[in-house]
Amino acid sequence: MPRGTVIELWWQDEARIGQQTKLTRRWAKRGTRPSAPKDQRGASAWIFGAICPAEGKAAGIVMPRCNS
**Domain spans in the chain, listed from the N-terminal domain onward:** 7-19+44-68
Q: What is the mean pLDDT of the chain?
A: 85
Q: How confident is the model at residue 22 (pLDDT cuts 50, 70, 90)?
A: low
Residue that wins the pLDDT comparison between 63 and 41: 63
Rg (CA), the chain: 23
Task: Give the integer Cα–Cα distance in Å for 34 and 57.
Answer: 55
pLDDT surpassing 70 at residue 45: yes
pLDDT surpassing 80 at residue 35: no
pTM for the full predicted model: 0.57
Give tens-digit pLDDT for 50-60. 999 999 999 99
